[in-house]
């Protein structure tokens, strides 16, 4: 029963977030194109290239980022359900090591993200 609820919540969150994100990004891209300087931008970049990049970016947004977001939401719900089951089946004091591990994980993650960003800049 709880699995069905989590799957429904995941689908609902994914759908709502995907539509909002798509609308926001599309609106910002179109606004950027409309307010671009005609002489500096549109005379240098062919219209076909603009449309190609626009459709490619929106396709990436709809497919790749949505799939990544879906797997992230699935992982979050799995972690939450495992924590709830662990606390329910054992003593409530198990939450203490869970919090400690979560804090350590967050610190290690921030170090990893910073080093990853430096490697990308190279």
Distance in angstroms (rounded) separating the CA atoms of residues 77 and 85: 12
Mean pLDDT, residues 107-115: 87
pLDDT tops 80 at residue 83: yes
Q: Which two tokens stand for residue 54?
A: 């626009």
SS (H, E, C) the chain: CHHHHHHHHHHHHHHHHHHHHHHHHHHHHHHHHHCCCHHHHHCCCCHHHHHHHHHHHHHHHHHHHHHHHHHHHHHHHHHHHHHHHHHHHCCHHHHHHHHHHHHHHHHHHHHHHHHHHHHHHC
Check: pTM over 0.75? Answer yes or no.
Answer: no
Question: Do residues 69 and 17 touch, judged by C-beta distance below 8 A?
Answer: yes
Query: Highest-confidence range of 15-19, 24-28, 96-100, by mean pLDDT?
Result: 96-100
Segment 79-97 shows an average pLDDT of 84
pLDDT of residue 29: 81
What gap in Å lies between CA 75 and CA 18, rounded to an integer? 18
């Amino acid at each position: 029963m709880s699995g069905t609820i989590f799957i429904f919540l995941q689908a609902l969150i994914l759908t709502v977030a995907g539509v909002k994100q798509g609308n926001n990004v599309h609106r910002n891209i179109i606004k950027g194109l409309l307010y671009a300087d005609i002489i500096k931008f549109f005379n240098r970049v062919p219209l076909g290239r603009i449309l190609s990049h626009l459709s490619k970016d929106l396709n990436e947004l709809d497919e790749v980022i949505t799939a990544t977001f879906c797997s992230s939401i699935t992982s979050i719900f799995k972690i939450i359900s495992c924590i709830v089951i662990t606390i329910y089946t054992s003593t409530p004091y198990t939450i203490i090591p869970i919090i400690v591990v979560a804090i350590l994980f967050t610190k290690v993650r921030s170090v990893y993200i910073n080093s990853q960003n430096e490697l990308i800049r190279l």
